[in-house]
Structures are given as C-alpha cells and as structure tokens.
Structure 1
Amino acid sequence: MSRFSVVVPAHRVQGYLRECLDSVLDQSFGDLELIVVDDASPDASAAIAAQCAERDPRVQLVRAPAQAGAGPARNIGADRATGTYLLFLDGDDLLLPGALEAIAAALDRADDPDVLLTGHDRVDWWENVRAGGDDLTGDPVAVTVAAWNRVFRRVFWQRHRLTFSDGPYEDVIPVHRATLAAGARVAALDEPCVRWRERRGGSFAKSPGRAHFAVVGRYEELLSAADPAGRERLLPHAAAHLLAVLDDPGRIAPGDRRDFFRAASRLYRTYATAPPAAAGEQALAAASYAAHETQRKRASRRGGVARQLKRQKKKLRARAMRVTYATDLRRPLDPRLAVYGAYWNRGISCNPAAIHAKARELAPHIKGVWVVSSRNKHRVPDGVEYVIEGSRSYWQTMARATYLINNSSFPGGFTKRPGQVYLQTHHGTPLKKMGLDQRRYPAGTHGISFQKVLDHTDQWDLSLSANPHSTEVWERVYPSTSYESLEAGYPRNDVYFTAGESEVVRIREELGVADGRTVLLYAPTHRDYQKGFLPRLDLERFVRALGPSYVVLVRAHYFYGAEAGLRAHPRLIDVTGHARVEDLCLAADALVTDYSSLMFDYACLDRPIVTYAPDWQAYRLARGTYFDLLSGRPGETPGAVATNEGELIELFRGGSWDGEEAAGLRSAFRERFCPYDDGGAAGRVVRRLFLEGQAPRS
C-alpha cells in the first residue's frame, strides 16, 4: 500500500498534462501511486498518460467509457486507489517540488488527521506567480473550495461515503462534508503545495453561462442535509462564495446576474437563523438585486474617483517639481555634495556603498546623500542621509551635487549639468550580453530603449572596471567618447581582503550556523524567460543528500523580492533579504551558482566555486554570453561543473568540488577576473574622484 494515491482526471488537457504528471512523479517523496482517469478526452491526453504508465509502474491509466465530467472521473480514481491518503490534482495544475515530503511530514506531526488542508499559489498564462490567499490558521470551512488543496485519509473518505457530484461545482459538497465530519481531526500545512494554473481560455471558469447556477444547487443540497450547527457555520462562507461567482464576469453573464442573485438570496434567506454579519450576508438577506448593484457600482465609482484624484495630484506635483527643478539648475553646484544610488534605489549597497564608506574616512569634507525609493527607506542605516526619489529634496540634490555615483541609473530623467562628475560603478562582471549587445537577444530586453541607454552613457565621466574583460565589454556595448575607464577594481570586494577570521565567526553566528558546519551559498541569478524564483534544484533533497555537516544558505536574486519561499528545514537558511551579500560570501566555504556575476566577486576569496547550470543552452540562446562557462578551459570555468541535480550531489559526495582540478580552474579564473582587487579599490576610487580631482566635461 502506498502512502499517497494521486488521482488526476484528464479531459482536453493535452497541453498541460505531461507537466502535471511529471510534477507528481518527480517528487522527492516517491511512495505513491498515480491514477490518471481519461474522461473520454478527444485529444492526446490518454496517449500522454499511457506513455507515463509505460515508463513508470506507479502510474495507472483508467479509461472512462464516456465523458462524465471531473467529479465522476475523480470518483473512478478514488475507487481504484489503495493509498493511505487521497490527493486530487487537476490535469492542468502542478504539484510543487517537495510537496509530498512536506505533506507527509505534516501528517506525521498531526498524528494522521482525516483531512489536511494545504496552501497553494496560482500562475497565469504570462507566468506571473501569486500567492493563493488562503488563511489556513482560521476556520477550515473558509478555505478555497477545491479538491486539490487538501488531502483525505482514504478510509475516512470511504466511511463517510464521500463522492464528487455529477456536473459543475462538483467539489463543493464532498469538500465541505469532509471538513465538517472530520471535526477536530483537520490539520493544516500553511505552505504552497499545488500550483493552480489559470488558463486564458478553454476552462469552465472562463466560460460565462447559466451552468454556473449549479453552485446554488450544490449549497442547497449541502445545507439541507447539515445539522443546525453545520448550517450556521457554513452559511457565511456559502454567501461569500456565491457572491464571488456572481461578481466574476468570466462566470455570470450580465443578462443572468439578476436571476443568479435572486437564487442565491432565496437560498440564504431559507437557511439563515441569525442576523447577517458580513456585507455579503447583508446583501443576500436584503433580497434586492438593485440595492446590491447600486452598492457595488457606488464602491466602484468611489474607487475610480479616488484613482482619478490620485492621478491628477501626481500630475500637478510633477509639474510643480519641474518648475522648481528648473530654478535649482540655475543655482551654483555644491563642490562638497555627492549623491549616491544603487540598484534602482533599493538601498545602501554594492560599490557605491563601499565608496561612500571610504569617502567618510578619506574625504570627510564630502557630504554624501543617498537616493532611495519610499518603500526601501527602512533599509537606510542610522546616520546616513537620504532623499526619496521624486521628492522635492531629490530634485534639489540632483541639481546641486557635484558628484554623482551610481551602479545603475538615477530616476526621473535628470539633467546632467556642466561641472558635475558622474561615476558609473556598474554592479558586476559581464557574463551575459549587456548594453547594445542585447539587441541581438530581444527576448531579454523587455522593451529597453537603446537610445535611452546611449543617452545615459553620454552622461558618464568615469566607468569603473573590475578587470580587462569588463573594460573591453563596457567600451563596446556602452559606446561614448564622454567617459574614461577607471580600472581600479571593485570597492565592494575590498572586504574579502580585509575581513579577519573573527568577522567570519560573527557573521556565521548571526546567521545561526553551528560550529563545524560546511557552509554552501546557493545564489542563482534570474532568467529573463522565467517569472518568480523557481530553482532548478530540489533544495531539501540536496541538503539531505549532503548530510548533517552541511548548511545551505539560499540567496534568490533581488528581482524576486525579500524571500525565496523555502520550506522549513533546519539546514536550509533563506538569506535573500540579508542586507549584505558580501557577508554571505565571507560566511560560505563554497559558492554554488549558475550564471550570477557573484562568481567573479567570490573568486577574490579563492574558495571553491561550483557551477550548477541545468539550462545553460537555454540561457545562452535567450540572453547570450561572452564566453562558454562550461567549456572547462582555464579562465572560463571557475571550478567543478554540474548540469543536473544528481551530478551536483555527486560532486560533493565524491569531493571533486574542492579537488585539484577545480583548484587549478579557480586559480586561472581568479587571475583573469580579479587582477585589480586587493583590498584597496575603494581608496583608489575616492582619491581619484574627490581628492586628486576628475576634470568634468564642459
């Protein structure tokens, strides 16, 4: 008997089914049976399932004699199941990596409950991933009504003779009945286990019509059979569900809205025994569709008026800013004022932060002011002056500062004045194509205006370079006669040469790393062709395979927010939101990355670098690269290489991640890409910019 029976109904899902089934079969927890029920699908769904069954004995393909719908198809699968627990997954959805292992652990912690609620997320056809939105700490009845966001103990399912209904909204009755019957034996796993894929068309949820009236009938059947306590508990959530269906234009057509409301209101008033509490209940209790529509339109108008006022205020403010900025541009420059920015106003970091810190030491007469966005102002340390992008203070500072230092660009289209000196520090050594070279790879440009790129380049006076490779690339892809290359090394890397052992110990303690552990920093970069942080590595399986002596720090790219969304594991630490990546590098005994420019900085430490590149070909084709990272040639490959999860695990188990061959590659890589880094880069930049003087362009 398997621990899990996963039942998948299949009808017209040929474009999604293979990925769905693979998401189950590739789970790290493999004690399962997968039952695919072909609901007489006219497309290739059955053939796809048959192929999976041919290669994996855990898969069964069951063919329904005629199309009956998702509910009866699930019932067929449940009848065939032999597992301890039942999971129902739709053929166009996905089971997220590690989900079954997390579910199994949650079931063990809860002493094998009858029902386990699980979290989910959703992804649209543009691959935008959003949270599911359920609060699993409250009443289980309030959780999204679906078969796929909960797990049922099979003997419990059979004992209560639970079945899915025939027709639309087939899961309303069995899902709610199971929740009520389980009582205190309902547990929750508050992390996403299923990815609900929203389809652009072809699904019931995107097909308006009177078939959606069936949801009223489902609640009628459910409430009529429930005891008084069950009705009282169900009714508020039934009202909310019915009004959500009503207000969804993908379900209820305008001409049917009045009839649907009347049916929902009649149902509510039939079973209500207490005064309505929530707004939805009050609307249905009033039994007036006109009043409901008036209230809905009034709320919509209020929102529209508020948005319009906000837009008008923004336009007036922008106009006023332009007028005052024009006045400030006629005032003299302040020779002691420098303005700093990093990563599009995300906070105090990277090369500008190292230059700012060194300037306080070597050039204290220079006042440094940072530009940050309003949502990132909390990241500014005490004692550091800053202005909010777009504010009056921002435009005053940009108009009067003599020195401009940034690793990306300043917001708002500022005017570069004669006498101002602009240092572009950049924020990495280029592996991927940059600047004008990106024109050959339109998939990664996302609407970049290359004319604006050139206009921005023409503002630079100095372009900081970490190595000869960078100098060559920057001068070609950012062509301009306006700037001079400053080959001084990266100031942010100075700490790798100046930090002592006590500093490393302190950082590890702050991260919660126990003594004697080997620390790996896993820091993949973002993909232009991928939305959200979707590591191509089962991190839990990886850390388990390495054993208790390893700890893995996980750093998602800053494009993906402050957290990587990891499942809880004592030897996996999410450090995405950590303020200083340099601290993480100091704490790590080795770096595991793919195409991140962090590899070039980490090489300064002369510690192992492992390249994990499962999609190298796709990355090269989509974005383009300046050399072959996987070639194995000295100066191109920084160390050991793995292209799949098994190879990566074997590198660490076998020791080749830190072997002689890897060390030789690392030495050549370091020689090529770290020739200027020696701990004194920030000092060289500060002296050149603030003390020796940089002749500004006229």
Structure 2
Amino acid sequence: MSPLLSIVLPVHGVERFLPRCLDSLGLGATPLDSSAAVEIIAVDDRSPDGCGAVLDEYAALDPRLHVLHLTENQGLGGARTVGLAEASGSYVWFVDSDDWIPEATLPALLAELEREQAADTPSDVLLTDFTHVYPDGSTEPNPWRHLLRGSPLVEGCTAREHPALLQTVMAVWNKIFRREFLLGLGVSFGRGYYEDISVTYPALLAARRLRYLDRPCYNYRRGRPGAITNTASPKHADAFAQYDAIFTFLNEHTAFADEHGPDQHLRSLVFDRTVKQALTVYDTPGLVPTELRAEFFRRIADHFARHRPPGYHFPSGLRGFQYRLAARGAQRAYGELRRTGRLPRGLRRRARAVAPAVRRGVRGGARFTAYNAFRRLPLDEHLAVYAAYWHRGYGCNPAAIYEKARELAPQVRGVWVLETREQAATLPAGVPYVIVNSPAYLRAMATAKYFVNNVNFPHTMAKRPGTVHVQTQHGTPLKAMGMDLMDHPVAADGMDFDRLREAVSRWDYLVSPNPHTSEHFSRAYPGRYELLETGYPRNDRLAVATPAEVAAMRERFGLAEGQRAVLYAPTHREGQGGYVPLLDLRELAERLGPGYTLLVRTHYFDSGGPGELTTGEQAAAVLDVSGHPTVEDLYLAADVLVTDYSSMMFDYAVLDRPVVVFAPDWAEYRRVRGVYFDLMAEPPGALATDAAQLAEALLAGDPAPEARAAFRKRFCPWDDGGAAERVVRRVFPVGGPRSPLTGTAELTA
C-alpha cells in the first residue's frame, strides 16, 4: 500500500543540524507511526561532510527512511526533483534538512491528510503555520499569520478568492502538496537560489482548493551562517530565471482566465511580489557582490520590460517611485533615493506622493528608506521605547521599569513594541503601543532617547549617538550564556557571536539581579556598559505581595481554600525541538491525590505541551497554564514550585516558599548546556530524580527549609521591592511635568 505522505529531504553540508531534523521526524527512536503512512526520502546531494554516513546510520534503524546518494551535486532544486521522482505518497512535503518540526506534528498532519483524502474535494495544497528560529535561540511567530487566520483558507478556497495569500512566504517547506496535482502542473524546481518559487507560485495559483492549518508545524532556522539570506553570491541573480518560469506558466495555462481574458489582478499581484523580492535582494547589504550590482539592477529593469502585465499600475507613494526608477534602470537615482530618502532634483516635483506612502505603511526596501529618513529628525528626549521577549507583549523587567518610570519620570512617555495588533488586547489600560515595521514603529525606533528591553532590539536598528539603551535580561543564569557558549557548540547551535558582540556594544546599562549574575554576565557579555546591581525589577511585585493579592490570584485559577497548588515549570532543552515530557503528569497526579492541583507551564521556546489532562477523582487536577501571559501571577498562586534548571527558581525564592528541583537528566544537561554552579550541591530546596521522589518531597510540605534559606541568601540579597525605582533613578531624569500622552490607542507617525 502506498504511504499517505512522502517527505522529501534534500541534504548538503548540514551535518551539525541533520540529527535534530531526523529525530524530529521520528527517526531517532521508536517510530511515531508503525504503519506505512509515512516514507522519508533523503537525497544526499553529494554532501561534503558526514551527512551521507548519518543518513545511512538512521536508515539502518528505520525502514521508512530511503537514502539516495547522488554522484554529482544537483543543488537544492535538483535534489528535490530527484526525491519527488522517487516519492509514492498521496501527498508530498519538502522539508529542509537544517530545520526541524515540532513535537507531535507528524501525527497531527497525518490526521489532517486523512480527512483531506476523504473529502469530496481534497485540498491540492495544505498550508501550515510555522516559527522562525534565530541563532541566539529566539523565536518569531509566522509574520504573515494575520493574513491566514480567520481567512477563507481555514475552510478552503482558491488564490483568486483570497489573493492576500500571495503576500505570504513563497517557500515550499510550509506547504504540503497533493502529489498527483503537483506532477500534473508540469513545473520544476529551478537551479540555484530561490529554486522553490517556480513551483510554489504555479501551485498556489492553479490549486482548485487551498487550505490553511493554524498550527505551527515547522521550525525554520533563520540567520545561520551559510544561508543564502546571509551570503554574498552572484547566484542571487538566479531569481530572474525563476521569475521567467513563473510567467511562462501563466502564459501557457488558461486556468487563470475569466470571461474578460486572463486574470490580470492575480498576474499583477505576482508581478508586484517578484519586483519587491528582487529589490529587497538588491537593497540588502552584502548579498549582491559590488561588481555585479549594476548588472543585477539592469536585470530588474529587464524583468519589468518582459513581464509587466497589461494594465499594471505602479504602487502609490514612495514604493511607486522606487519601482519607476527600477523600471527605467535608473540605478544612480534609485541609490540616491535609498541613501538620502530624497528624490533626485529632477524628480522632486513628484515627491508629494511620498508622504502619504509613509503614513499608510512601510514594507520591504521602503522600510529602510523611511527609517533612515526618520533618523534625520532630532532625538525625542522625552520618548522611551519598551519591548520584551521579542515583541511578544507586556511583561518582565521592562514592564516593571515602565510602570515605575510613569510614576517617577512622568515627562518621559513610554511606548511598547508589539508584534501584532491582537497583542494590544493584553496591554494594561493606558499603555501606548506601536506595531513592528509600522511607520510609527520606525519613527519611534529612529528618534527615541531611551530603549529598554529584556532581549536585543533588531540589529537593523542602529544606535544613534545620545541614546540610552537599558538591557535587563530575563533571568538569573544557572546555564552558560552569551560568549560562554563558545565552549558548548550544541547549545550554541548556529549562534552568531559577532552579532552578539555588536548588540552588546549598544548597551549603556545592564541590570543585574544578584552578585552571582554580576560575576558571570560581566564575562559572558563583555562591553563598556554600566552594570546596575539593583535586583530584578520584575521581582518587586513578589517582594511586596500582600495576602489579598495572593488570594486574588488563587481565585483567578480556581484554587479552593486548602487546595495545595504545585507549579511545574520545566526549562527548554537544546536539541530536543519542543516540550520534553520527562515527568508522567498523570502518575504524579495520582500520587498526590485530590488535595493538590498541578499548574503546568512549558517554556516559551517549546512548541507543544501537556494540554489539559483529565485525571480521576482521587488524583490531583492538572491545568496547562503555558499560555498565561504573566508568570508572576502563577508564582503568587502556587504553594510550591517544581522546576529543573529554569531561572524561575531564583525569582520564586523571593517568596520564601518551597522549591523542589526535579532533575532526572542533570549530567546530560550540564554537559550540553554548561552551568555556572552545581545545582545538586546548592539546591533551592529538595531534590528528586523520579516521580516517586518528587511526590514524596511534595507530600512532605516543606522538606528542605535550610537549603532554601542558603539559596535565598546567595541569590536574593537585593530583592527588597525597590529594584525598579533604583533603575529608574539611575537611567531617567526623575521629576518633571507629566507627559500629555494618554490612552491605549496605537500611535501613528
């Protein structure tokens, strides 16, 4: 019987990443699916490293993996073509071998494909959600998710019915194709760079039914050394051959015609997107070699001449001027516009259209032009930009500093950076915000005097003279951090240490929660910043919490009086790909009994999680609180914390409540990640390595008060409730009239 799904895996020069990819597909352990539902076709594209041997080793253990060793390098497109020819599944998925899929993804996708196969009109393409993962371990949700969620794609539609689809990523790795449909298109992957767009555009345009699965099914590695988006090469010009293939397909197929002739709207959208991509490549520093830039720009002009659809209208505003200059091949004028934000003198009479474009929105190459234009404005001495956890929302040390600054330095108005408008609903009343890459965001980033973040702001946003950057970080380190990871290659997987040094060079202040952190961060993040040994602002709330606030938090989570709440919060493990269930929650719940409630919170790096688990009447209740936005709420509600190596133990210790360390893999974690002290010798409380020991410690109530006291003395000496005030008084001008900015509306430029 033919498999339901064929996974095609081109492999070349990714030995350090390949095991993680293969493990995520269920090949490193007991197969996720013992039937013939899945086949994995790995194409060793004459890899120069040990990839071929790794593939053969895995294939010897799992018959679902078929390995093809090519005698000549075919490139990514050629390897995919070879793999597709060998595929026999009803559906085919092209996975890149330096990426990986989240835990439990494959069974979920198989269930979706079974439903598709049984439908009267099965989808030709199933699109999935995905996550960007950066070298420093930070993640970014699908930037185009807002164009897909709640759209007709959720139930199924065509590209003509939801043309906004063409604004999303055009890669193949987040699309699963019905194999017969794909083979029937008569398209092929291109040679060289951008090889997949000659397949994705035709497939999306020709599909009778497209559907979007709102589940992150793919972790896409961004920014790694060697990736084409980081590599200077003449191969970036390969994009023009892919564009030719796309428009050849459109010209030869009548499926895009209506009663008025070819669907010019879709054709114009495709053309506009290809121009945008070409100009983005040209504008991005370091991609197109200097000696080839003139030829690359000439080819953009040639692309206009060959493929511009009849009736195509240039975009309005700034982007329209850029396109007109590109169409004319006016490289020098285009460069002046990009460099100065001003049109050449001969074109300035038409510049009235630029301002409306900046007000409406800034994308692609125009984003850099607008940002540079805003940087020519004077610094706003009364503006502070705040962000936390890669723009995920309001929280952590920056939130505590923001609130204290409103009190002590009201003349400095603060604005928060958010990833999406949906996140604005989670903001407290009266907190202004901007959305990433909006005009208001670009202006704030270009003109603000103060910047406060618990991670680094994007490297594309340069530090202006006179600005003040406050780096708070987001936890006391047990594990090795920063430059110390150079000695731990697995944990540092793809980390760009040069980029890290550049980021640290922007810091003016680094907030430290305790002497231990001061010692290690000074080495891990070498720089000229001032170390603020103030304690952690986010822990002020814990230091001054009242019984009334604790009761309110317990009521919020439905915890009855007398019910003992256990917060279980495991940390992220490098190389594992997602939530790792080292603890059998049902077993623990049965051991604890009905007088307990388990609040389970997985790490924000991890996809998947325990979900809501049903337990018996004689067992503890289990609640998945991974999505709760404010971890301090959970601290206040919980009677005891169970963690392994998370920095949460240092924060929770401020409350002087029991902590149990559940560490079944300490030796492995210590080896892979590196640590700053022996947690087994200096724990914050009781230790456990299996479920029985853990239950025994929890049932004991407060099993290790002496260990907790020693831990608090070492790691919580500055947690007195005044950390935020100490930071604000050092960084901001305290006093002055209150800022006139009020309300929760999104700021506009």
- The alignment's TM-score, normalised by the length of structure 1, stands at 0.62
Whole-Å separation in 2 of the counterparts to 1:576 and 1:237: 40
Provide closer, same or farther for how the CA distance between residues 170 and 682 of structure 1 changes in structure 2, counting only shifts above 3 A.
closer
Provide closer, same or farther for how the CA distance between residues 7 and 259 of structure 1 changes in structure 2, counting only shifts above 3 A.
same
Provide closer, same or farther for how the CA distance between residues 287 and 225 of structure 1 changes in structure 2, counting only shifts above 3 A.
farther
Aligned to 1:638: 685
Whole-Å separation in 2 of the counterparts to 1:372 and 1:619: 44
Q: Which of the residues 375, 378, 390 maps onto 1:313?
A: 378
Whole-Å separation in 2 of the counterparts to 1:165 and 1:429: 48
Aligned to 1:581: 632
Q: How does 1:149-164 map to 2 (within 5 A)?
A: 149-158=174-183, 160=185, 163-164=188-189
Check the 8 A contact 1:93/1:194 in 2, yes or no. Answer: yes
Check the 8 A contact 2:6/2:91 in 1, yes or no. Answer: yes
Aligned to 1:521: 567
Residue 8 of structure 1 and its aligned partner are, at CA, apart by: 0.8
Provide closer, same or farther for how the CA distance between residues 639 and 535 of structure 1 changes in structure 2, counting only shifts above 3 A.
farther
Residue 615 of structure 1 and its aligned partner are, at CA, apart by: 6.6
Q: Which of the residues 579, 586, 590 maps onto 1:537?
A: 579
Provide closer, same or farther for how the CA distance between residues 222 and 283 of structure 1 changes in structure 2, counting only shifts above 3 A.
farther
Q: Deviations over 1:610-642 (max 9, x none)?
A: 43575766669977545x3235xxx73633545
Provide closer, same or farther for how the CA distance between residues 265 and 72 of structure 1 changes in structure 2, counting only shifts above 3 A.
same
Q: How does 1:19-98 map to 2 (within 5 A)?
A: 19-25=20-26, 30-31=32-33, 32-98=38-104
Check the 8 A contact 1:10/1:38 in 2, yes or no. Answer: yes
Provide closer, same or farther for how the CA distance between residues 106 and 447 of structure 1 changes in structure 2, counting only shifts above 3 A.
farther
Provide closer, same or farther for how the CA distance between residues 598 and 613 of structure 1 changes in structure 2, counting only shifts above 3 A.
same
Q: Which of the residues 311, 323, 345 maps onto 1:274?
A: 311
Provide closer, same or farther for how the CA distance between residues 193 and 515 of structure 1 changes in structure 2, counting only shifts above 3 A.
farther
Whole-Å separation in 1 of the counterparts to 2:77 and 2:295: 25
Residue 292 of structure 1 and its aligned partner are, at CA, apart by: 7.4
Provide closer, same or farther for how the CA distance between residues 625 and 225 of structure 1 changes in structure 2, counting only shifts above 3 A.
same
Whole-Å separation in 2 of the counterparts to 1:591 and 1:21: 31
Provide closer, same or farther for how the CA distance between residues 101 and 274 of structure 1 changes in structure 2, counting only shifts above 3 A.
farther
Aligned to 1:237: 270
Q: Deviations over 1:452-482 (max 9, x none)?
A: 44xx66xx9xx99xxxxxxxxxxxxxxxxxx
Aligned to 1:12: 13
Q: Deviations over 1:200-238 (max 9, x none)?
A: 337496422444431232223222223243753244223
Number of aligned positions between the proteins = 553
Residue 254 of structure 1 and its aligned partner are, at CA, apart by: 0.9
Equivalent residue of 2:67, what SS? strand
Aligned to 2:216: 191
Check the 8 A contact 1:5/1:33 in 2, yes or no. Answer: yes
What amino acid sits opposite 2:20 in the alignment? Answer: E
Residue 207 (str. 1) matches residue 233 (str. 2): yes
Aligned to 2:344: none
Structure with higher Rg: it is 1
Residue 592 of structure 1 and its aligned partner are, at CA, apart by: 3.0
Residue 609 (str. 1) matches residue 619 (str. 2): no
Whole-Å separation in 1 of the counterparts to 2:224 and 2:430: 50
Provide closer, same or farther for how the CA distance between residues 12 and 103 of structure 1 changes in structure 2, counting only shifts above 3 A.
same
Provide closer, same or farther for how the CA distance between residues 588 and 245 of structure 1 changes in structure 2, counting only shifts above 3 A.
farther
Aligned to 1:144: 169
- The alignment's TM-score, normalised by the length of structure 2, stands at 0.58
CA RMSD of aligned residues (A): 5.6
Whole-Å separation in 1 of the counterparts to 2:25 and 2:208: 29
Whole-Å separation in 2 of the counterparts to 1:438 and 1:281: 51
Q: Which of the residues 436, 445, 452 maps onto 2:524?
A: 445
Provide closer, same or farther for how the CA distance between residues 374 and 606 of structure 1 changes in structure 2, counting only shifts above 3 A.
closer
Larger RCO: Structure 1 or Structure 2 (Cα < 8 Å, ≥ 6 residues apart)? Answer: 2
Q: Which of the residues 620, 629, 647 maps onto 2:679?
A: 629
Whole-Å separation in 2 of the counterparts to 1:545 and 1:161: 54
Whole-Å separation in 2 of the counterparts to 1:163 and 1:514: 62
Equivalent residue of 1:152, what SS? strand
What amino acid sits opposite 1:215 in the alignment? Answer: Q
Whole-Å separation in 1 of the counterparts to 2:396 and 2:89: 51
Whole-Å separation in 2 of the counterparts to 1:177 and 1:683: 60
Aligned to 1:298: 337
Check the 8 A contact 2:565/2:599 in 1, yes or no. Answer: yes
Provide closer, same or farther for how the CA distance between residues 239 and 298 of structure 1 changes in structure 2, counting only shifts above 3 A.
same
Residue 573 of structure 1 and its aligned partner are, at CA, apart by: 3.2
Residue 413 of structure 1 and its aligned partner are, at CA, apart by: 11
Q: Deviations over 1:282-313 (max 9, x none)?
A: 97689843457635642542266974764662
Residue 38 of structure 1 and its aligned partner are, at CA, apart by: 1.5
Residue 264 of structure 1 and its aligned partner are, at CA, apart by: 1.0
Equivalent residue of 1:7, what SS? strand
Whole-Å separation in 1 of the counterparts to 2:468 and 2:142: 35
Residue 225 (str. 1) matches residue 252 (str. 2): yes
Whole-Å separation in 1 of the counterparts to 2:217 and 2:86: 27
Provide closer, same or farther for how the CA distance between residues 187 and 567 of structure 1 changes in structure 2, counting only shifts above 3 A.
farther
Whole-Å separation in 1 of the counterparts to 2:721 and 2:70: 75
Residue 506 (str. 1) matches residue 544 (str. 2): no
Whole-Å separation in 1 of the counterparts to 2:60 and 2:449: 68
Residue 596 of structure 1 and its aligned partner are, at CA, apart by: 1.9
Q: Deviations over 1:383-402 (max 9, x none)?
A: 99xxxxxx9999xxxxxxxx
Check the 8 A contact 2:479/2:674 in 1, yes or no. Answer: yes
Check the 8 A contact 1:523/1:555 in 2, yes or no. Answer: yes
Equivalent residue of 1:57, what SS? coil
Provide closer, same or farther for how the CA distance between residues 446 and 614 of structure 1 changes in structure 2, counting only shifts above 3 A.
farther
Aligned to 1:492: 542
Residue 151 of structure 1 and its aligned partner are, at CA, apart by: 0.9
Whole-Å separation in 2 of the counterparts to 1:370 and 1:287: 47
Residue 169 of structure 1 and its aligned partner are, at CA, apart by: 4.0
Equivalent residue of 1:180, what SS? helix
Provide closer, same or farther for how the CA distance between residues 573 and 517 of structure 1 changes in structure 2, counting only shifts above 3 A.
farther
Residue 265 of structure 1 and its aligned partner are, at CA, apart by: 0.9
Provide closer, same or farther for how the CA distance between residues 123 and 80 of structure 1 changes in structure 2, counting only shifts above 3 A.
same
Residue 346 (str. 1) matches residue 406 (str. 2): no
Aligned to 1:669: 707
Whole-Å separation in 2 of the counterparts to 1:304 and 1:159: 43
Whole-Å separation in 2 of the counterparts to 1:38 and 1:674: 53
Equivalent residue of 2:25, what SS? helix
Q: Deviations over 1:517-552 (max 9, x none)?
A: 99653445799xx8xx99863479977998999865
Q: Which runs of 5+ in 1 are unaligned?
A: 319-341, 357-366, 385-390, 395-410, 415-425, 465-488, 686-698
